[in-house]
A and B are shown apart, each in its own frame.
Chain A
Amino acid sequence: MKTETFYEVMERQGITRRSFLKFCSLTAASLGLAPALVPRIVNAMETKPRTPVIWLHGLECTCCSESFIRSAHPLAKDVVLSMLSLDYDDTLMAAAGYQAEEIIANIRQKYKNNFILAVEGNPPLNEDGMYCIHGGRPFVEVLKETAADAKAIISWGSCASWGCVQAAKPNPTRATPVHKVITDKPIIKVPGCPPIAEVMTAVVTYMLTFDRIPELDRQGRPKMFYGQRIHDKCYRRPHFDAGQFVEEWDDEAARRGYCLYKMGCKGPTTYNACSTVRWNGGVSFPIQSGHGCIGCSEDGFWDKGGFYNRVTGINTFGIESNADKVGGTAAVVAGAAVAAHAAVSALKRARSHNDQGKGGN
């Protein structure tokens, strides 16, 4: 059977040309693309087939799937019914047992090197991989086999990207991120615990629309969403610059929405789109709701000191940084500047936190 394009499917599902064009414009907007690129999206959608997706689950908590179904633009139902072909996803699929396993085998064969493998969670390597059993076998085996025939891999969330909570010290199961197990396929990391819904669907839309992987930073994350720190675009940034800080939960400063830096906010060292795209259709994001960022999209964020300890090694004041540079020495040196700035703030001094890690990454 001829595989249908997006547009053919949408048309057959009763979506009008007008709605289709509107959808393409919205896609462009959500990807931050110029309106001039809309015709290109239209063309792509008209000529590209629906790509099969196999979505595997390792050690995880399913927050990525839950986030994905919260997507407001595009709607999760439109993604699943019209944009891609989600042929295998243990969380949503009707089949179970061998009828489920058969699907993986069929897709691997029929769409060899032409399907996307989405991975939520990660494989544990201790106990011969049997801390995560899939169809009676180690999950890591299923992952490797499936990856061998995939065109590209999306590592959803911090589990697949970095290891996340089960890989926090001492990592009892030896939970291992996908890129350390699969080394011969393009991998797009979409970290966060979970990632923002609209970031997830935008990454998928980008790949399907342009038939290419989004531009990635040195750590393998799409630059378009992970290129800047939460701090860089935080709406409370002016309070940071003015030295206006929350000193204690529910104090006058908290009620005025001042900067949460002294409450341990990791916004200055976290690369994510929370302060711009925001969460759940743009309703809020952690800092807006009064809690500091815990840095959940960063590698090893569980082991970088407490969530309420102040970050010391951060960049600010005219020193442009990006994900590629962070981890370099520049960040550590510049960190002193921000710490000094905070110390001379108009508000009273908070306790000193010298037991911090280096920070900066």
Chain B
Amino acid sequence: MGTYETQGFKLDNSGKRVVVDPVCRIEGHLRVEVNLDSENVIRNAVSTGTMWRGLEVILKGRDPRDAWAFTERICGVCTGCHALTSVRAVEDALGIHVPLNAHLIREMMAKTLQVHDHAVHFYHLHALDWVDVVSALSADPKKTSELQQLVSPSHPLSSPGYFRDVQTRLQKFVESGQLGPFTNGYWGSKAYVLPAEANLMAVTHYLEALDLQKEWVKVHTIFGGKNPHPNYMVGGVPCAINVNDVGAVGAINMERLNFVQARIQEMIDFNNNVYIPDVLAIGTIYKQAGWLYGGGLSALNVADYGTYEKVPYDFSTHQLPGGVILNGNWDEINPIDPRDPEQVQEFVTHSWYKYADESVGLHPWDGITEAHYAPEGPGFKGTRTKIEQLDESAKYSWIKSPRWRGNAVEVGPLSRYILAYAHALQGNKWCQRVKEQVESSAEAINSAIPRALGLPETNYSAKQLLPTTIGRTLARALESQYAAEMMMDDFNQLMGNIKAGDTSTANVEKWDPSTWPKEAKGVGTVAAPRGMLGHWIKIKDGRIENYQCVVPTTWNGSPRDPKGQIGAFEASLMNTPMVNPEQPLEILRTIHSFDPCLACSTHVMSPDGQELSKVKVR
């Protein structure tokens, strides 16, 4: 292939090739290969989904009311969001509207997941790319305490003794010689730029978040019975409400509601006192060090279906409104329609699947997936079962390439925030909170935090700060904060509705398949933690005829398309310098900033259930 230009990126695969496989601290299995120039700057990036499960063919012929349970198992990290998308798709197909209480309970469950998933991602899957755990050992606990009180005056856990205890525990752990999950990390690398005190503060919050996250998910446990994988139901929610009568202890009662409210308040407090201040502080320090890489496609094309409608079924009231922005033109927001066959299409030119004509893309309702594992191409090194180097000019991934009107787009919290910010600037009243968050964060990063830390101030615009790895990480934190706030609104609305006498949680008019039309098709969409998620269903004679999911990591992790356009993972790595090519910290930091979910991205399967492969008995 050599050199070519696409979407403003100059790809050059002539330099040293570095392979990272497995990419850990993600959901599922991912491989990344990059080429470096003589200055160790990334000039070509190749991302490969390395697993495939085939869930949709499994769904064919089953009861549509069961589909949520199957699709929920696409991912246990973003648990519940596939289930919600699925019940929405079925309800859309059958014309079912759920009662207001059910809508609000589902919203609270979705937002709980958003907070949980984002915080766990930042602290447990991403932080170690920013935070040097070993450096935390040399921190001064007193100065750490001062730093904590500076960046987050309201956080109660901030005494020198508190940080000293954590440091002592960490010290003993390291001295034991058994480093557990920290074994072979990149400790001491110059790619880490935080002072020791910031490292100790972040490690402490790694442990705090680990303890707290298990509390937040209890909102799912109350309404859905368990977490991971709470229960959903077509037509409403399975938990009945009973606040007055005999048997209330067997339903959602006052005690359960108080419990939920307490958890929501915990999420709000954690976001405000810990998560947001940490991300702002870490982002500021990396920005001061000049590390503003990783924007990639987000500076050009972003998309989301829109989410969190204030009025059920009125999508003009989305509190995170959707659309598509192309070529970085934030003044123009294109409407998005998941039903339009011309908009969302999937290509397989560089994926291990076959189409009759691979120059065209297919809309999910008409999707075909014929698996065809064949690592190949002149640049491929290795064997069928021992891949040493992939050739991106040929097929090289288990992920397909979805495109919006032929354009590669980035999806996720950053895309939602760029879109909502652009909507807010245009006067959309439902998302003004986003404008506030973005502007106050920019102020903190440019001025307030540098001033407090005695560092020079900067003057980056939101448009310069957001499309970066730091911006992607920040948008996730802001979305967590916003989701928790909206959740409290949902809770209050639920209480008001119950007070007004409405305790209904299910619409059972069309529960019985005998009430269904002979044929129906529907779409469900959800703002999953990692980006826009859509399920497309066709129902025939009461059974699933066709089921397709186009998931966030398929968009972001997609291989190239027939035009050679690169996806968001690949674009984000371009032109990033590496401190030490033997230690892929910068690659991990940026790839992790997407929160990849490979079990999600690679499950796609034939709606027609064709023979997939020859069975070979090993």
**A residues apposed to B, CB below 8 Å:** 1, 3-4, 9, 12-14, 50, 52, 57, 59-67, 69-72, 75-77, 80-81, 85-97, 99-103, 124-141, 164-166, 168-175, 193-194, 197, 236, 248-250, 254-258, 274, 279-281, 283-291, 294, 296, 302, 306-308
By a CB distance below 8 angstroms, the chain A residues around B240 are: 249-250, 254-255, 290
By a CB distance below 8 angstroms, the chain B residues around A254 are: 240, 251
By a CB distance below 8 angstroms, the chain A residues around B55 are: 165-166
B20's partner among A86, A87, A97, A307 (CB-CB below 8 A) is A97
Q: Which of B195-253 contact A (CB under 8 A)?
A: 207, 210-211, 213-214, 217-218, 220-231, 233, 235-242, 245-251
B58's partner among A169, A193, A289 (CB-CB below 8 A) is A169
B225 near A287 (CB under 8 angstroms)? yes
By a CB distance below 8 angstroms, the chain A residues around B224 are: 286, 289, 291
CA distance A19 to B360 in the complex (A): 65
Judged by a CB distance under 8 angstroms, whether B266 is at the interface is no
B385 near A130 (CB under 8 angstroms)? yes
Whole-angstrom distance between the Cβ of A285 and the nearest chain B Cβ:
6
A94 near B186 (CB under 8 angstroms)? yes
The answer to whether residues A92 and B53 also contact, given A66-B77, A308-B66 and a CB cut-off of 8 A, is: no
Whole-angstrom distance between the Cβ of A246 and the nearest chain B Cβ:
9
Whole-angstrom distance between the Cβ of A81 and the nearest chain B Cβ:
6
A255 near B241 (CB under 8 angstroms)? yes
B508 near A166 (CB under 8 angstroms)? no
B235's partner among A87, A92, A249 (CB-CB below 8 A) is A249
CA distance A308 to B63 in the complex (A): 9
CA distance A294 to B27 in the complex (A): 25
Which of B53, B239, B584 has the most chain A CB within a 10 Å cutoff? Answer: B53
Judged by a CB distance under 8 angstroms, whether B409 is at the interface is no
Judged by a CB distance under 8 angstroms, whether B382 is at the interface is yes
The 6 closest A-B pairs by CB, nearest first: A257-B250, A63-B76, A256-B247, A94-B185, A286-B225, A289-B225
A91 near B214 (CB under 8 angstroms)? no
Residue of A nearest to B612 (CB): A172
A13 near B214 (CB under 8 angstroms)? no
Which of A61, A70, A132, A285 has the most chain B CB within a 10 Å cutoff? Answer: A61
By a CB distance below 8 angstroms, the chain B residues around A294 are: 69, 231
By a CB distance below 8 angstroms, the chain B residues around A302 are: 58, 70
CA distance A141 to B383 in the complex (A): 14
A70 near B73 (CB under 8 angstroms)? no
By a CB distance below 8 angstroms, the chain B residues around A99 are: 184-186, 583
B225 near A290 (CB under 8 angstroms)? yes
CA distance A254 to B248 in the complex (A): 10
Q: Which of the candidate stretches B167-175, B443-451, B453-461, B489-497 sits at the interface with the other chain?
A: B167-175
CA distance A3 to B128 in the complex (A): 26
The answer to whether residues A66 and B76 also contact, given A132-B51, A133-B29, A256-B250 and a CB cut-off of 8 A, is: yes
A3 near B21 (CB under 8 angstroms)? no
By a CB distance below 8 angstroms, the chain B residues around A286 are: 224-226, 231
B24 near A170 (CB under 8 angstroms)? no
Residue of B nearest to A169 (CB): B58
Which of B168, B186, B238, B388 has the most chain A CB within a 10 Å cutoff? Answer: B238
CA distance A159 to B230 in the complex (A): 18
A284 near B221 (CB under 8 angstroms)? yes
Given contacts A60-B76, A75-B210, 13 further A-B contacts (CB under 8 A): A9-B172, A50-B178, A90-B26, A91-B25, A92-B124, A94-B182, A96-B588, A101-B22, A103-B184, A124-B52, A128-B373, A175-B53, A289-B239
Judged by a CB distance under 8 angstroms, whether B281 is at the interface is no
Report 6 cross-chain contacts, Cβ distance below 8 Å, ordered by A residue: A1-B177, A66-B79, A99-B583, A136-B31, A172-B605, A173-B53
CA distance A302 to B385 in the complex (A): 31
A135 near B22 (CB under 8 angstroms)? yes
CA distance A135 to B20 in the complex (A): 8
Scan B33-57; emit 1 where CB is below 8 A from any A CB, else 0.
0000000000000000011111101
B223's partner among A69, A85, A172, A289 (CB-CB below 8 A) is A289
The answer to whether residues A173 and B52 also contact, given A134-B22, A194-B76, A289-B221 and a CB cut-off of 8 A, is: yes
The answer to whether residues A96 and B180 also contact, given A136-B386, A255-B241 and a CB cut-off of 8 A, is: no
CA distance A114 to B196 in the complex (A): 36
A3 near B384 (CB under 8 angstroms)? no
By a CB distance below 8 angstroms, the chain B residues around A128 are: 373, 384-385, 616, 618
Interface of B is mostly: loop
A66 near B228 (CB under 8 angstroms)? yes
The answer to whether residues A170 and B599 also contact, given A9-B176, A77-B211, A137-B386 and a CB cut-off of 8 A, is: no
B387's partner among A133, A140, A168 (CB-CB below 8 A) is A133
Whole-angstrom distance between the Cβ of B73 and the nearest chain A Cβ:
4
B27 near A62 (CB under 8 angstroms)? yes
By a CB distance below 8 angstroms, the chain B residues around A103 are: 183-184
**B residues apposed to A, CB below 8 Å:** 19-29, 31, 50-55, 57-58, 62-63, 65-66, 69-70, 73-77, 79, 120, 124-125, 128, 133, 165, 168-169, 172-173, 175-186, 207, 210-211, 213-214, 217-218, 220-231, 233, 235-242, 245-251, 259, 371, 373, 382, 384-388, 398, 503-506, 508, 511, 583-584, 588, 599, 605, 609, 612-618
A307 near B27 (CB under 8 angstroms)? no
Residue of A nearest to B56 (CB): A172
Which of B237, B251, B259, B398 has the most chain A CB within a 10 Å cutoff? Answer: B251
By a CB distance below 8 angstroms, the chain B residues around A255 are: 240-242, 245, 247-248, 250-251, 503
CA distance A81 to B457 in the complex (A): 40
B217's partner among A70, A71, A100 (CB-CB below 8 A) is A70
B504's partner among A12, A130, A236, A250 (CB-CB below 8 A) is A250
CA distance A168 to B57 in the complex (A): 10
Whole-angstrom distance between the Cβ of A347 and the nearest chain B Cβ:
14
CA distance A59 to B222 in the complex (A): 29
CA distance A24 to B419 in the complex (A): 53
A100 near B22 (CB under 8 angstroms)? yes
By a CB distance below 8 angstroms, the chain B residues around A96 are: 20, 22-25, 584, 588
A100 near B184 (CB under 8 angstroms)? yes
By a CB distance below 8 angstroms, the chain A residues around B250 are: 236, 255-258, 288
B251 near A257 (CB under 8 angstroms)? yes
The answer to whether residues A14 and B165 also contact, given A62-B75, A94-B184, A127-B373 and a CB cut-off of 8 A, is: yes
By a CB distance below 8 angstroms, the chain A residues around B133 are: 94
B505 near A133 (CB under 8 angstroms)? no
By a CB distance below 8 angstroms, the chain A residues around B220 are: 280
A90's partner among B22, B179, B229, B617 (CB-CB below 8 A) is B22
By a CB distance below 8 angstroms, the chain A residues around B173 are: 9, 13, 81
Residue of B nearest to A172 (CB): B54
The answer to whether residues A72 and B588 also contact, given A168-B58, A256-B251 and a CB cut-off of 8 A, is: no
Which of B168, B169, B615 has the most chain A CB within a 10 Å cutoff? Answer: B169
CA distance A139 to B265 in the complex (A): 43
B53 near A289 (CB under 8 angstroms)? no
By a CB distance below 8 angstroms, the chain A residues around B227 are: 70, 279-280
Residue of A nearest to B82 (CB): A61
B181 near A284 (CB under 8 angstroms)? no
CA distance A138 to B55 in the complex (A): 20
Residue of A nearest to B249 (CB): A257
By a CB distance below 8 angstroms, the chain B residues around A283 are: 218, 221-222, 259
CA distance A197 to B214 in the complex (A): 10
Residue of A nearest to B63 (CB): A306
CA distance A274 to B230 in the complex (A): 13
B609 near A13 (CB under 8 angstroms)? no
B176 near A71 (CB under 8 angstroms)? no
CA distance A165 to B76 in the complex (A): 12
CA distance A25 to B77 in the complex (A): 32
Whole-angstrom distance between the Cβ of B609 and the nearest chain A Cβ:
7
A14 near B169 (CB under 8 angstroms)? yes
The answer to whether residues A126 and B613 also contact, given A57-B29, A248-B511, A257-B247 and a CB cut-off of 8 A, is: yes
The answer to whether residues A291 and B213 also contact, given A85-B178, A256-B247, A302-B70 and a CB cut-off of 8 A, is: no
CA distance A174 to B618 in the complex (A): 11
Whole-angstrom distance between the Cβ of A301 and the nearest chain B Cβ:
10
